[in-house]
Chain A
Amino acid sequence: MIIDGSLSDLKAVFKGIKLIEEDPHHPLGNSGRVTILPKTEQEISSILEYANTHKHTVIIAGGGTKRGFGGLLEIADIQLSLAQYTGIVEHDPGDMTLTIKSGTPFQVIQNHLAPYNQKIPLDPFFPEAATIGGIISANDSGPKRLGYGAARDNVIGLRMVYPDGSLIRSGGKVVKNVAGYDMNKLFIGAMGTLGVISEVTLKLRPIAKYESILLISFPNSSLEVISASAVKVLDSLVEPISLEIITPALAGKLTNTNQYTLLISFEDVKSSVHYQEDVIRHMMPEKTTIKSLSEHEANSFWNTFYHHQPHVYTNVSATEAVLKIGVINLDVIKLLQEAELIGDSCHVSIEAHGGLGTGICQMAIKGASADVLSAIRLVRETAVQLGGYAIIKHLPFSLRKEANVWGNKTASQFLFEGIKQKIDQNGILNPNRFVGGI
């Protein structure tokens, strides 16, 4: 631990690198006694090397959107902020690949790519604030994962700074690569416990020529009806980019219709999108209301969607939790139905959506602290009974100590610990932020 007074040492060591000292107490924790903002990979490397030699703990930060995601250490010795480590390293439009510095905000990158009719095929929450490094470290994904895959399917190369300051590259700049172990996979979703991502290389997709969203509201329908409709969609010829079910509370907020709603989106050439919309219209049961949003309206809907979760980096006072839950695809419906009941019994509000082709649900829970914790426990029990899991993507620091962020350990825990031990012997990086106390 940094003892008081050694801060001047740090300043001397990191001459020229921006260093901030401010009140480290923050409701979401994951702070540092001192915040260091490197601008180059070399600076990241020298900071880590110094921290490793002196056994100082380091918490890694980007845009701050995931500050409430894991972590039982309120204040580390150093908060390494990548907010000033930004920019595009290489964009090759012909090869459709892009290399960027990890602190670059997602939306900045998409804006750069748009004139080329290209995009990173990921759809994270809070795209204007979330950095590409944070999105990949936390493996954040949105509804379009059904059509485009997740970070693990789109990242083709990483430059990692290891805790000892050494630079390790994984993958490369080509879209197909089996040379050696697929180390990219190890670092994606590792919550910064194995190294600091310096640069990310991704494969890009063309921006579709046309897009639309169908919002199908089911008035008073039993979930069996919704489930049967979803199965029909999945077994049909349509190729949706997302297929989400949205709970009434969230649907009310997003569409002003307080009913279970299916969100089906398409991206393709115009003729194909319209054809698929027609197929869906003929497939849906009577009494459903179908609203179609295309192009500009669709964009604006998505923008609202990616901001519906608690604005964790602007409003940190409320007791709100966000869960990510994984179950077998169609069990999403059972899970969300159960969550509605849990919301009522625990006196909390629950807004949730889940992908019927991916099994990934996101759930925002709001209420009194004790009630939020009970609801989390019950939702997790339901997920586990369905053969899945629930992890806590966001929760204030004081409650994280009481709730188990990652759930129970699995039989693979000893392998996780072995990997962590090989790479970060001194345990300096994001200590206790990941599964089983890693």
Chain B
Amino acid sequence: MAVLKINTTDKHIINLANIVDGPRTILYKKADLLAYDCDGFTIHKHLPKAVVFPKSTEEVSKLVKYCSDNGLPFLARGAGTGLSGGAIPINGEVIISMVRMKKLISIDLANRRAVVEPGFVNLKLTNSISDKGYYYAPDPSSQYCCTIGGNVAENAGGAHCLKYGVTTNHILGLEVVLPNGEIVEIGRNGVLDEPGYDLLGLITGSEGTLGIVTKITVRILKNPEGKQTVLAYFDKVEDGSQAVSDIISAGIVPAALEMMDKIAIEAVEAAAFPVGHPKDIEAVLLIEVDGIAAGIEEQVNQILEVCRKRNVREVRAAKDEAERERWWANRKTGFGAMGAISPDYLVQDGVIPRSKLPEVLSKISQISKVSGLRIANIFHAGDGNLHPLVLFDARKPGEIDKALEAGSACLKACADVGGTITGEHGVGIEKREEMRFVFKDEEIRAQTNIREVFNPNNLLNAGKLFPTPGRCVEIKKELKSLS
């Protein structure tokens, strides 16, 4: 095998390579960097200065210290599945990739916790403990490839967070490299309520702007004894929304309560996992209850009854595990399925109070009419988290702009009814300006003040999460120039 050599005179590249394991563990040539110019948000692209692959906390700390001392912007990246552009190197950052730090360090079933490195893939954790009857609850749709470090940065959710909570509810401890290279341990030994301000809660969901997480202690849960999934077809979307509210009001806490509208159904049925949903219905609900088997039948019967009262066309429980899994595969691949009916799509992530569902859906349908673009809707309906999917064709001049505008208008509609602009995808660069829909200037300043405590020179993942004062107009122009 030929010995790799660093072929550049850039002293920073040489020095960074020396911190990690040499040329094998750094990328710096343009051709190699292209794969890192964006994440799951593909509308905005920028090349990094380099991508380095540390294998330990100490290496991360040294890399961070080097960048910090030399004024080089830097950011951390996991699997790159983020949907809001949080890992896009808009300032030509040095990307610190966490993918080599992918060990499962320890499992302690009796105390219901596991310790992982940040590059460890979400689903692998559940797979490592499922034979013992345990699982890790947060289940973003990308869980087969996204990393737990990335989940911490974004405070990732998933279909089953209605009952069990999002990532922040499952993080017990973090080892963090601060932007000056210092290593701190928060939530030592995974013990709850460590004295002091709740830095665990603050750092989780901070989108990689306060520090780089290098070790994570997570809570693991015992598998429920039983689970059952119910499928319900509605001719009217209002009836489906009302059924959602009725189920929750009946005192049932479903593990998941998902909804897809007509266009979404068209897409999932045209994609890889069709299950035969009728094409002429306006809404399909997928309702899962879990827990003690003895109590499940009662809940399922109640759900069936609620749906019937709301003029359901057809409602039934999955007849076996295979059918349940088919229904979920169909739903979980919903975003990607848009590819079957549209060349491009933009996914949004608003949240609304559940009771406003019919109102916001009708608003979104108006937005669709005005923009001339089709909008499919996939929701975590139980917690009011909407994913409007704006379908467009980037080859047609002006369509990217129109899609961005329509997406933003959907978020405005959510904010206007007392909701928010992101439930699980994060702000990133995508929704920076939309932060103004929900926060006043001084509230945004209150947050950037906290950032300054951790990240005073703003070299770590700068330009993310917050709108730049007075830059509103410029950013719109910037986005326009991209098309």
* Residues of B contacting A188 in the complex (Cβ-Cβ under 8 angstroms): 198, 201
Chain B neighbourhood of A387, CB < 8 A: 188-189, 191
Q: Are B204 and A149 in contact (CB under 8 A)?
A: no
A239 to B364, CA, bound (A): 40
Find out whether the CB atom of A330 lies under 8 angstroms from the CB atom of B439. Answer: no
Please tell me the number of chain B residues within 8 Å of chain A, measured between CB atoms: 86
Interface residues on A, range: 35 or more
Bound CA–CA A389/B447 (angstroms): 29
- Residues B446 and A162 in contact, CB atoms below 8 Å apart: yes
B222 at the interface (CB under 8 A from A): yes
The residues of A that contact B299 with a CB separation of less than 8 Å are: 269
A411 to B440, CA, bound (A): 33
**A174-B442 Cα distance, complex, nearest whole Å:** 21
Q: Is A152 an interface residue (CB 8 A)?
A: yes
Instruction: Please provide the chain B residues from 255 to 294 with a CB less than 8 Å away from any CB of chain A in the complex.
Output: 291-292, 294
Q: Which of A162, A173, A329, A415 contacts B454 (CB 8 A)?
A: A415
Contact with A along B298-310 (1 / 0, CB 8 A): 1100000000000
- Known contacts A94-B355, A174-B351, A234-B110; decide if A179 and B253 are in contact (CB<8 Å): no
With contact pairs A95-B355, A422-B450 given, residues A174 and B384 touching in the complex (Cβ less than 8 Å): yes
Is B161 on the interface with A (CB-CB < 8 A)? yes
Question: Are B353 and A95 in touch, CB under 8 angstroms?
Answer: yes
Cβ contact within 8 Å between A272 and B424? no
List residues of chain B with CB within 8 A of the CB of A173. Answer: 353, 418-419
Instruction: Determine, out of B15-23, B99-107, B165-173, B397-405, the stretch whose residues face the partner at the interface.
Output: B165-173
Question: Which A residues are in CB contact (< 8 Å) with B380?
Answer: 176
With A174-B353, A231-B110, A268-B291 known to touch, is A152 a contact of B385 (CB < 8 Å)? no
Chain A residues within 8 Å of B206, by CB: 181-182
Task: Tell me, yes or no, whether B157 is within 8 Å of chain A by CB.
Answer: yes
Interface status of A190 (Cβ within 8 A of chain B):
yes
Binds B, one of A34-42, A100-108, A357-365: A357-365
A327 at the interface (CB under 8 A from B): yes
- With A326-B191, A410-B194, A412-B199 known to touch, is A272 a contact of B295 (CB < 8 Å)? yes
Residues of B within 8 A of A391 (CB): 195
Cα distance, A407 to B450, chains bound together (Å): 25
A179 to B383 Cα, complex, angstroms = 15
Cα distance A107–B314 when bound, in Å?
43
Interface bits B104-145 vs A (CB < 8 Å: 1, else 0): 000001111000000000000000000001000000000000
Q: Which residues of B contact A407 (CB under 8 A)?
A: 195
Docked complex Cα distance between A318 and B63 (Å):
56
Segment among A49-57, A61-69, A202-210, A280-288 that sits at the interface with chain B: A202-210
- The reply to whether B202 and A412 contact each other, CB–CB distance below 8 Å, is no
- Mask, B181-195, CB within 8 Å of A = 1, is 000111011111111
Chain A CB within 8 A of B426 CB: yes
Q: Known contacts A181-B202, A183-B446: does B196 contact A234 (CB below 8 Å)?
A: no
Tell me whether B292 and A272 are in contact (CB under 8 A). Answer: yes
**Chain A's nearest CB lies how many Å from the CB of B424?**
6
Tell me if A290 is interfacial: C-beta within 8 Å of chain B. no
- Using an 8 Å CB-CB cutoff, how does the interface string of B445-480 with A read, 1 for contact, 0 for none? 011011111100000000001100000000000000
User: Does A344 touch B at the CB level, under 8 Å?
Assistant: no
Tell me which of A177, A189, A274, A411 has the highest count of chain B C-beta atoms within 10 A of its own C-beta. A177
Please tell me if A117 contacts chain B, counting CB pairs below 8 Å: yes
Residues of B within 8 A of A327 (CB): 191
Pick the contact of A326: B184, B194, B225 (CB < 8 A).
B194
Chain B residues with Cβ under 8 A from A271's Cβ?
294-295, 298
Interchain CB contact under 8 A, B184 and A174: no
User: Contact between A328 and B439 (Cβ–Cβ < 8 Å)?
Assistant: no
**Is A46 an interface residue, CB under 8 A from the partner?**
no
| Inter-subunit contact B197/A168 (CB<8 Å) | no
A422 near B352 with CB under 8 A, answer no
Q: Cβ of A328 and Cβ of B446 under 8 Å apart? A: no
Does B88 count as interface, using CB distance less than 8 angstroms?
A: no
Within the assembled complex, what's the spacing in Å between the Cα atoms of A389 and B191? 9
- How far is it, in angstroms, between the C-alpha of A207 and the C-alpha of B192 when the chains are bound? 26
> Which 9 residue pairs across A and B have the least CB separation, nearest first?
A185-B201, A272-B295, A206-B251, A418-B453, A275-B294, A387-B189, A237-B225, A176-B423, A272-B292
CB-defined A-B contacts under 8 Å, sample of 7: A150-B193, A169-B440, A175-B351, A206-B251, A271-B294, A326-B192, A327-B191
**A residues lining the B interface (CB < 8 Å):** 92-97, 117, 139, 149-150, 152-153, 162, 166, 168-170, 172-186, 188-190, 194, 205-209, 231, 234-235, 237-239, 268-269, 271-272, 274-276, 324, 326-330, 357-360, 387-389, 391, 406-407, 410-413, 415-416, 418-419, 422-423, 434-435
List 6 other contacts, CB 8 Å, given A168-B446, A179-B422, A269-B295: A176-B161, A177-B422, A180-B435, A182-B201, A330-B110, A388-B191
